[in-house]
Amino acid sequence: MDRSYKIDEWKIIEEGFNPEKNRASESVFSIGNGHMGQRANFEERYSGNSLRGSYIAGIYYPDKTRVGWWKNGYPEYFAKVLNSPNWIGIDVSIDDEQLDLARCEILSFRRELNMKEGTLSRVFSVKMKNGITVEVNTTRFVSLDDHELGAIKYSVKLPDQGARLSFTPFIDGNVVNEDANFGEIFWNESNRSTDNGNALLVTTTRKTNFTVAFASNYAFYRNKKEIITEPVLHSREKYAGHSFEIEARAGVQYTVYKYAAILSSENNPVNKIGHLATIKVQEASSKGFDELLDAHRDAWQKKWDESDIVIKGDPAAQQGIRFNIFQLYQTYTGDDKRLNIGPKGFTGEKYGGSTYWDTEAFAFPFYLMTSDLHVARNLLLYRYRHLGKAIENAEKLGFNNGAALYPMVTINGEECHNEWEITFEEIHRNGAIAYAIYNYIEHTGDSSYLEDYGLEVLIALSRFWRQRVNFSEPKLRYVILGVTGPNEYENNVNNNWYTNKIAWWTMQYTTECIGAVKSAAPAKYKDLVERIEFDEKIEIAEWKEIINNLYFPYDEDRDIFLQQEGYLDKLQQTVDNIKPEERPINQHWSWDRILRSCFIKQADVLQGLYFFGEEYDTETIKRNFDFYEPRTVHESSLSPSIYSIMASRTGRIDKAYELYLRTARLDIDDINKEVKEGLHITSMAGTWLSIVEGFAGLKVKHQKLYINPLIPEAWEMYSFMIRFRNNLLKISINKTKAEVENLSGKRVCINVGGEEKKISAGNTEFFKI
């Protein structure tokens, strides 16, 4: 574990600069507003090791697929969210020497992410090669109040002597993605201009034709007094900026305010986009940094007021959960149904900013319970809009009759992933999409969603499962062959328990929903039946036949569900047999060795028990937990949270706590040694779940709300807020009691540890625990 950052309840703090850790810190200190994001790269030039990253939601490029051996059915491209023009750049030089932290002596350095306010700041002092000491103080944010704005305050002081100080704020479109398959340049310039105050660069993506306008301007101050500059204008291919200089006096603070408006053609007319960006940035600069910052802070305060989790007595745990919540809201705010949640959000290039099953299985319940109903609905509608493509995707693979296979990785509905063992085999992803619909209906009671959209998706998914199974003569059962379960450390397995379970459940749930929609909205149902040529009698009968006869691998001796057929043929070992220096195994072992080992990457059987735990007694869950947890390396960030929840559900609070810290601090402590690639955004929702569904034991059963609270020994109390059926509840738990405050306008019924109470609007009830 790497405790590089200070423990603080509202901040992440890095004291001292470690160039080796710079890429990791650039990820951890990223800022975003759900529509754009920026790694914690320096404003001034940095020639050391860095991954420059500035990302704009929804703007992608179809990067041509590269594989060793092409197989039919592979997608042509991987859609990637692009590294976009650098809008944060401010070159600084002192007596003609560039300020560059890789080329000077660092006397002090502090980087700070303020999660309450959503700002990133640095304070550092360096001695340049020319002997001049320089003190720098910077703050920046991308506005949560206006998602097209960013602002930077960059102050420089020369404490010991005067010198010529020059600044060059600029926009630079000469950027690339590190993971571009063929080293392609993704952006073309479509417009550029520079005048005395403003710089404008309008760029358009090749192939996809998205246009983004970057307009910036600046103000320059000596202490508190504005200085009017006569800048040198820079305008060259994909680059626009200004330089100005001053004879700086010792001990005086010089500050550049840089404002940027970033407008995309997704939200603005292309023919006016440059003009609109320029107007917007001028309005921003006339408001000034402090006013913009106030509005941004207020927007964050509103988010925290409705979603903060407070943990008393354990600052490391507190810091962890706030970091997770903060990053989730920096990634997705739910106001645009075209957008989704990439596993790395806007913090790195890995996973291409695309949508994975992570959204439905992990992120969805977080937004469902913390945000207004339209947010979760937008996430569901995203998949609904992609249904046609999912049907096409299944057709490409040989399925028919409207069967849908959603992609493993997508931005626009098309499959982007090209490893056969995942693209063709990790089909369990379809199940999570069905489960999210179920979750939504249970939590919100919004059955109109089912009638208008959800049932259509469910039928398409069940049609897929019906065609994906086959009848095994030796077993006299239906089987699902050649799949990859959530555990990607094994491929092409037969009868993965989790996949079979979620396929079984989807057909079952679809059948129930057909009954419900048919009676509640017969006209809509009739219309759907005609539109998708649904043969109710025959298709339901086929599903029922499979539901009654699907094979589930099981080991009688141990009385556990088997992850897949043949799993026990593997040499059985537990994770404590792996040498610590060989962890994580995916960075040390050959893929062949990993595939042959019994080690499990992430919750697999346990993922199924997490979704469908209600069907099993606690003893069954314990037996499976005790067998699988010691074999699980948790090398997917998605794993510890599920195990933590299941440990809580079986009353193993210490284990649940250990796994909670692992998920909550995964990135802050770089536990999987890969944070330099970006943060694990989707697993952060799992962290939230491990408190709310784990320790607090929250569940919704037959549309009723239950909690069954536990509290880790180290905690004095914890509290969280959830939304349930349009009500907002604040739940606080300490060692002896649970307190439920109804913050909404309607009476709410809740069952706490077996005791059911109705709480009227505005009231609080206490429950002994």
| Active-site residue list | 488
Q: What is the DSSP letter of 600?
A: B
Sheet holding 310-312, edge to edge: 310-312, 717-724, 727-734, 737-742, 764-768
Residue 300 Cβ vs ligand BGC, minimum distance, rounded to whole Å = 26
* Closer to ligand BGC by Cβ: residue 410 or 636: 636
Tell me if 280 sits within 8 A of 121, measured CB to CB.
Answer: no
Cβ atoms within 10 A of the Cβ of 741, count? 17
Residue 611 makes contact with ligand BGC by CB under 6 A: no
What the block records as the tokens of 23 is 């890429």
Residue 341 Cβ vs ligand BGC, minimum distance, rounded to whole Å = 10
* Closer to ligand BGC by Cβ: residue 421 or 739: 421
Q: What is the dihedral of CA 328, 333, 338, 340, to 10 degrees?
A: 10
| Closest listed residue to residue 645, CA positions, set 609, 617, 604 | 609
Residue 346 makes contact with ligand BGC by CB under 6 A: no
> Which residue number is nearest to ligand BGC in terms of Cβ?
343
3-class SS letters over 234-261: EEECCEEEEEEEEEECCCCEEEEEEEEE
How many angstroms separate the CA atoms of 619 and 649, rounded? 11
* Closer to ligand BGC by Cβ: residue 86 or 682: 682
How many angstroms separate the CA atoms of 207 and 476, rounded? 51
Residue 379 Cβ vs ligand BGC, minimum distance, rounded to whole Å = 16
Residue 345 makes contact with ligand BGC by CB under 6 A: no
Residue 409 Cβ vs ligand BGC, minimum distance, rounded to whole Å = 8
Name the one residue in this structure whose structure tokens are 């069905």.
434
- Answer for which of 14, 358, 539, 670 binds ligand BGC (CB under 6 A) is 358
Tell me if 723 sits within 8 A of 371, measured CB to CB.
Answer: yes
* Closer to ligand BGC by Cβ: residue 198 or 602: 602
Tell me if 502 sits within 8 A of 428, measured CB to CB.
Answer: yes
Residue 343 makes contact with ligand BGC by CB under 6 A: yes
How many angstroms separate the CA atoms of 116 and 138, rounded? 18
Residue 361 Cβ vs ligand BGC, minimum distance, rounded to whole Å = 8
- Answer for which of 93, 602, 663, 719 binds ligand BGC (CB under 6 A) is 602
Residue 667 Cβ vs ligand BGC, minimum distance, rounded to whole Å = 13
Residue 356 makes contact with ligand BGC by CB under 6 A: yes
| Closest listed residue to residue 603, CA positions, set 449, 487, 708, 512 | 487
The region of 118-126, 204-212, 225-233, 350-358 touching ligand BGC under the rule CB under 6 A is 350-358
**E strand or H helix at 505, and its extent?**
helix 497-520
Tell me if 730 sits within 8 A of 740, measured CB to CB.
Answer: yes
Residue 672 Cβ vs ligand BGC, minimum distance, rounded to whole Å = 10
* Closer to ligand BGC by Cβ: residue 356 or 509: 356
How many angstroms separate the CA atoms of 41 and 43, rounded? 7
The region of 163-171, 349-357, 496-504, 660-668 touching ligand BGC under the rule CB under 6 A is 349-357
What the block records as the tokens of 359 is 């959204």
Residue 587 Cβ vs ligand BGC, minimum distance, rounded to whole Å = 13
- Answer for which of 357, 497, 504, 534 binds ligand BGC (CB under 6 A) is 357
- Answer for which of 486, 608, 686, 709 binds ligand BGC (CB under 6 A) is 486
636: left (phi over 0), alpha (psi -120 to 50) or beta: beta
What the block records as the tokens of 421 is 């063992």
How many angstroms separate the CA atoms of 468 and 714, rounded? 48
330 contacts: CB under 8 Å, gap ≥ 6:
30, 31, 32, 33, 34, 37, 118, 345, 346
> Contact letters (x/-) for ligand BGC, 671-700, by CB under 6 A?
-----------x------------------
Residue 488 makes contact with ligand BGC by CB under 6 A: yes
Residue 495 makes contact with ligand BGC by CB under 6 A: no
Tell me if 50 sits within 8 A of 153, measured CB to CB.
Answer: no
> Contact letters (x/-) for ligand BGC, 616-655, by CB under 6 A?
--------------------x-x-----------------
End-to-end CA distance of the chain: 34
| Closest listed residue to residue 60, CA positions, set 278, 268, 364, 339 | 339
The region of 42-50, 285-293, 351-359, 461-469 touching ligand BGC under the rule CB under 6 A is 351-359
* Closer to ligand BGC by Cβ: residue 356 or 525: 356
* Closer to ligand BGC by Cβ: residue 328 or 517: 328
Residue 490 makes contact with ligand BGC by CB under 6 A: no
Number of residues that bind ligand BGC (CB under 6 A): 12
The angle that helices 373-385 and 387-396 make with each other, rounded to 10 degrees, is 40
Residue 425 Cβ vs ligand BGC, minimum distance, rounded to whole Å = 13
Residue 354 Cβ vs ligand BGC, minimum distance, rounded to whole Å = 9
Residue 26 makes contact with ligand BGC by CB under 6 A: no
User: Is the four-CA dihedral 404, 407, 408, 412 of positive or negative sign?
Assistant: negative
* Closer to ligand BGC by Cβ: residue 140 or 601: 601
* Closer to ligand BGC by Cβ: residue 153 or 680: 680
The region of 52-60, 354-362, 516-524, 587-595 touching ligand BGC under the rule CB under 6 A is 354-362
How many angstroms separate the CA atoms of 662 and 629, rounded? 14
* Closer to ligand BGC by Cβ: residue 441 or 645: 645
Query: CA neighbours within 13 Å on the CB side: how many for 285?
Result: 22
Tell me if 384 sits within 8 A of 407, measured CB to CB.
Answer: no
Residue 362 makes contact with ligand BGC by CB under 6 A: no
The region of 353-361, 466-474, 565-573, 576-584 touching ligand BGC under the rule CB under 6 A is 353-361
**E strand or H helix at 194, and its extent?**
strand 187-194
Residue 415 Cβ vs ligand BGC, minimum distance, rounded to whole Å = 14
Residue 637 Cβ vs ligand BGC, minimum distance, rounded to whole Å = 7
**For residue 190, what are the CA distances in angstroms to 84, 144, 196, 203?**
14, 28, 21, 5
Residue 415 makes contact with ligand BGC by CB under 6 A: no
* Closer to ligand BGC by Cβ: residue 85 or 353: 353
Residue 407 makes contact with ligand BGC by CB under 6 A: no
* Closer to ligand BGC by Cβ: residue 168 or 331: 331
Interface residues with ligand BGC (CB under 6 A)?
343, 351, 356-358, 486, 488, 601-602, 636, 638, 682
